């Protein structure tokens, strides 16, 4: 049983790394958020980013029309900026605690997380050119 679990864990990690290398957004659960972004504790609002590259976190839901419209643009910037930033996505219907933590009241909501400093939350649909401009401004300081 341990061998099966270990094999499954290795495959999951390999898949996640492969997705990022190909420039695809990576889904985050509460558990993976705590590993890759911030190991938060209820009541502690201190921000401590764990990543080794800046990231965007898209808070979305499958029923949301603007979220579905944003998806291909998110894919484009994930490919264009592969190796420079991470592009994550959080399904607000499945990850209620994360949505509550960030006070998500409208979607899509995009959290731009620089390597240092305060993250910036932007709400609403944007196309690839707007995303690229915001990545350069907030994450890459270009």
User: Is 90 exceeded by the pLDDT of residue 104?
Assistant: yes
Task: Kindly state the tokens that stand for 76.
Answer: 């484009």
Lowest mean pLDDT among 26-30, 37-41, 63-67, 78-82: 37-41
Quote the Cα angle for 103-30-5, to 5°. Answer: 170
Task: Kindly state the tokens that stand for 68.
Answer: 């579905």
Catalytic residue numbers, as ranges: 64, 67
**pLDDT more than 90, % of the chain:** 73
Q: Please give the Cα distance from 124 to 109 (Å, whole number).
A: 6
The tens digit of pLDDT for each residue in 37-63 reads 998 877 776 788 999 999 999 999 999
Q: Domain spans of the chain?
A: 2-139
Tell me which fold the domain 2-139 belongs to: Glutaredoxin (3.40.30)
Give the mean pLDDT of 77-106.
96
């Amino acid at each position: 049983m341990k061998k099966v679990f270990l094999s499954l864990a290795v495959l999951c990690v390999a898949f996640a790394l492969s997705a990022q290398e190909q420039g695809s957004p990576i889904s985050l659960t509460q558990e993976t958020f705590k590993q890759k972004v911030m190991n938060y504790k209820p009541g502690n609002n201190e921000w401590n980013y764990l990543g080794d590259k800046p990231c965007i976190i898209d808070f979305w839901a499958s029923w949301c029309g603007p979220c579905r419209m944003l998806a291909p643009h998110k894919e484009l910037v994930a490919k264009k900026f592969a190796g420079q930033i991470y592009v994550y996505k959080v399904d607000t219907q499945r990850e209620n605690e994360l949505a509550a933590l960030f006070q998500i009241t409208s979607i899509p909501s995009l959290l731009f997380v620089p390597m240092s400093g305060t993250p910036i939350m932007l709400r609403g649909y944007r196309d690839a050119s707007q995303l690229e401009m915001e990545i350069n401004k907030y994450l890459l300081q270009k």
